[in-house]
Structure 1
Amino acid sequence: MHGGLAGELALAGGIPVLEAQPPVSWPRTTDADRAAVQSVLDSNLFVSDRTGGRTAVEQLERSWADHLGVRRCVGVSNGTTAIELALLAHGIRPGDEVVVPALTFVGTAMAVVHVGAVPVYADVDPVTFALSADSLRERITPRTRAVVPVHLHGLSADMPVLDAVARHHGLVVIEDAAQAHGARHLGTPCGATGNTATFSLQMTKNLPTCGEGGLVVTDDDAIADRIVQLRQFGETIRPDRPRRYVSHRLGFNAKLNNIQAAYTSSQLERFPDYHKARRENVAAFLDRLSGVDGLTCPTEPEGHEHAWHILRFVVDFDRLLPGVPVAGARSLLLRALRAEGLPATRYQMMPLPDQPALRPLVRQPDPSCPVTQDVIDRSFTVQQRHLPPDAGPLLQSFADVIEKVFSHRRTLARLAEGGAQ
């Protein structure tokens, strides 16, 4: 018997499982990471537009391409910019429609808007939370030029099916793998499907940098060369000649710097071990919760290897708090979990087309996505604290919290009736 079931809920005056919510301890910076960064500081070679030797950015690009088994990788300033440059490199133009899932980080849709294209929102699968092929088919019009599937939370979308739909309609596929470093589907790593794919290196990601960064991977040399130009004012910079300051296309200043790249390259050396430990820790955590009534744990469907970047739990509030409106029940549950020391969050607050910044730009007749709305309404997430390789004991304490809260349904119902604040 674990300790999570003992005692009254902290929200009702009991002793919490954890005295305080644990601090974020990710990324883990080691002496090897510090040495890698110091080597760049000592070299005085900070940016990737210099000639005369292989830079840390080039080293990271080659290492990540080799890790995935793809031809090319291009380092850029962040994951959102990676999507923007990939869209532009594939010829997406103002007015083109690009289908994106309604359940994802807002940057996916903003990247489409930033290149002048029109985001069209499709619904997601209720199990994988990834783009639904059926919804994609419904959203395709004569103006549709591309689709951006998102491997949300570290679980691959069903790319064979989505690719088949895209090929049938002649659509460009750009995979948003910002959260999916290490994920696989049918043995293929996310990013190595033959499509162009983008990754984020933001410090919260499974493969982080010391700040912001992004990578674009592709087997198409022409696409990679365009992105290299686009990240550097449209210039072509070669190591065998001085920079000419000639812009061949309208580009951006969207480079990854050498300090960021060196840090990530050092992290990449430990990445396989971290990935393995995370999968073991999360598996043990979810095994503890598999029998909790009214709770649907994140899953790893057959053929998938989850990267477990974010853990999303879906709650059957009709079983947990029958008769209580979902919004109030969800708020009460989150307060109860946090009071016990589990830093539960909602993450996405609304489907993308309902975001205030995007709502005025919605052009499709019916942007409603009922599965997305249902998932957002009935779920909570656990983020970051489970990423370190030694997070196993903490996850077991989180299991204690969830077991305790879900076992005190009468107390939750009493608090709901009394309007707990």
Structure 2
Amino acid sequence: MIPFLDLKAQYSEIKPEIDAAVARVVSSGQFVLGPEVAAFEERFAHFCNTVHCRAVNTGTSALHLALLAAGVGPGDEVITVSMTFVATTAAILYSGARPVFVDVDPVTWTMDAGLIEAAITPRTKAILPVHLHGLMADMDPIMAIAHRHGLVVIEDAAQAHGAEYRGRRAGSVGDLGCFSFYPGKNLGAFGEGGAVVTDRPEFARRVALLRDWGQEAKYDHAIAGYNYRMDEIQSAVLNVKLDYIERWTEARRSLAERYDALLSDFPFGRPYPPGHARHVYHVYAVRMAGRDDALKLLRDAGIGAGIHYPVPVHLQRAYAELGYRGGDLPVTEMLAKDFLSLPIYPEMPPEGANKVVATLGRAAAWQPSAAVRNLERPRSGMSWSHSRRAS
């Protein structure tokens, strides 16, 4: 058996430290927004190379509060992508704004910066790129467009803890960065958790108020807010795990390199991060025809595999009122049909990748879809825009 993710193995590795941290919180009798939260905020801001961090209860809450702190509200539009988890879209709708989807790049699978300006209207307030699978979006052109048009940039970095773009950490390039600490994330809590990072003190202050009922002091409510506070136990767990995140990230990257080598002769599309990017491989996805048959083959062999994501947000029934139809985002829709996520986690033995690929090898006779067949590997160090033209 090779699970898609093994959180029990991770816990076994750090059990004494985790147990001591949890016991410390229980003994303290302080469970919400206490010293563990404060310590985590300081440490995670440092990890992201930002000045401020405000911890919240979920990644969705982080997105919601970042949007509100940036002044996004009813009547506004936020440009984002549909190849993401639905929380990205939900947070925009929670703020009262409308999501406007642009397509993704066929090589990096992140926001196609070349499509943004055509989507800007007088109602556009923000751009919300998603760092998919652990690879940051093409941030330099996104930031340049935002500056030209006076827009705020909010990074959805829920899958990108420690990822880098031209030497800059995820969350530090845009005006605000949002993270999830859902248990399966590269840095995961023992429950729910999230955070907003920023260099701008006014945004940090606004998020801090909004997460705690708008209170400046107890029972002194300056603004209407929410109960989005992170609890002390989750922060204590995350403080322990922060000591291991870099080692775990390098283990993921090593497994990804192994997959790359083992899959090099197969007719599958693989991740091709540009040379100036640090991909942290929250997900290792391939693109292939007959994806659903391959998924069954893997699961029948006791190998955990998944799809991120089989139905893009713009085609989900829950968001039909947004008015999108099949064909509106052709690259996103193509990827949703081709993506197959393979097991990858720090504790996975290297030989596990061999078994995964050997099982996929039974599908070697399958022909790649036209989209995969036409996908060429970009040369090392290529920019996103050059990679896209090479596809």
Name the TM-score, length of structure 1 as normaliser. 0.83
2-structure distance, mates of 1:376, 1:23: 19
Of 21, 25, 31, which aligns to 2:6?
Answer: 25
TM-fit CA distance, 1:363:
5.3
Of 382, 388, 395, which aligns to 2:346?
Answer: 388
> Which consecutive residues of structure 2, in runs of 5 or more, have no partner in the other structure?
368-391
> Which consecutive residues of structure 1, in runs of 5 or more, have no partner in the other structure?
1-19, 49-53, 238-242, 318-328, 411-421
1:351 aligns with 2:312: yes
Q: State the match for 1:314 in structure 2.
A: 287
Q: State the match for 1:159 in structure 2.
A: 139
What residue identity is the alignment partner of 1:178? A
1:223 aligns with 2:218: no
Of 348, 355, 369, which aligns to 2:329?
Answer: 369
Q: State the match for 1:211 in structure 2.
A: 191
Q: Cα deviation per residue 1:101-122 (whole Å; 9 max; x = unaligned)?
A: 0110100000000111101111
Please give the secondary structure, in 2, of the residue aligned with 1:120. Answer: strand
Q: Cα deviation per residue 1:373-412 (whole Å; 9 max; x = unaligned)?
A: 1111122112xx4112443222222122222x233559xx
Q: State the match for 1:143 in structure 2.
A: 123
2-structure distance, mates of 1:134, 1:150: 15
Contact 2:159 2:185 in 1 (8 A): yes
1:379 aligns with 2:336: no
Contact 1:341 1:401 in 2 (8 A): no
Q: Cα deviation per residue 1:333-360 (whole Å; 9 max; x = unaligned)?
A: 3222322333232231222111111111
Contact 1:120 1:364 in 2 (8 A): no
2-structure distance, mates of 1:334, 1:194: 36
1:251 aligns with 2:225: yes
1:283 aligns with 2:252: no
What residue identity is the alignment partner of 1:45? Q
Please give the secondary structure, in 1, of the residue aligned with 2:250. Answer: helix
Q: State the match for 2:372 in structure 1.
A: none
Q: How many residues align?
A: 363
Change (3 A) 1:366 1:394: closer
TM-fit CA distance, 1:21:
4.8
Q: Flag the structure with more relative contact order, 1 or 2, with Cα contacts below 8 A and sequence separation at least 6.
A: 1
Q: State the match for 1:37 in structure 2.
A: 22
Moved more, 210-219 or 386-395: 386-395
Moved more, 331-340 or 253-262: 331-340
What residue identity is the alignment partner of 1:43? S
Please give the secondary structure, in 2, of the residue aligned with 1:381. Answer: strand
Q: State the match for 1:97 in structure 2.
A: 77
1-structure distance, mates of 2:155, 2:255: 27
2-structure distance, mates of 1:160, 1:409: 38
Contact 2:315 2:326 in 1 (8 A): no
2-structure distance, mates of 1:211, 1:155: 24
1-structure distance, mates of 2:29, 2:114: 52
Name the TM-score, length of structure 2 as normaliser. 0.89
2-structure distance, mates of 1:285, 1:183: 19
Change (3 A) 1:141 1:261: same
Of 304, 308, 320, which aligns to 2:277?
Answer: 304
TM-fit CA distance, 1:22:
3.0
Of 134, 157, 161, which aligns to 1:177?
Answer: 157
Moved more, 172-181 or 125-134: 125-134
2-structure distance, mates of 1:229, 1:330: 46
Please give the secondary structure, in 2, of the residue aligned with 1:236. Answer: strand
TM-fit CA distance, 1:367:
8.1
What residue identity is the alignment partner of 2:48? L
TM-fit CA distance, 1:179:
0.2
Please give the secondary structure, in 1, of the residue aligned with 2:111. Answer: coil
1:399 aligns with 2:357: yes
2-structure distance, mates of 1:285, 1:363: 39
What residue identity is the alignment partner of 1:235? Q
Q: State the match for 1:168 in structure 2.
A: 148
Please give the secondary structure, in 1, of the residue aligned with 2:184. Answer: coil
Please give the secondary structure, in 2, of the residue aligned with 1:296. Answer: coil
Q: State the match for 2:301 in structure 1.
A: 340
Contact 2:314 2:325 in 1 (8 A): no
What residue identity is the alignment partner of 2:328? S
Change (3 A) 1:349 1:114: same
Please give the secondary structure, in 2, of the residue aligned with 1:358. Answer: helix
Change (3 A) 1:73 1:90: same
2-structure distance, mates of 1:367, 1:112: 23
CA radius of gyration, larger in: 1
CA-based RMSD of the aligned residues comes to 1.8
2-structure distance, mates of 1:216, 1:301: 26
**Identity percentage of aligned residues:** 35
Contact 1:106 1:352 in 2 (8 A): yes
1:76 aligns with 2:52: no
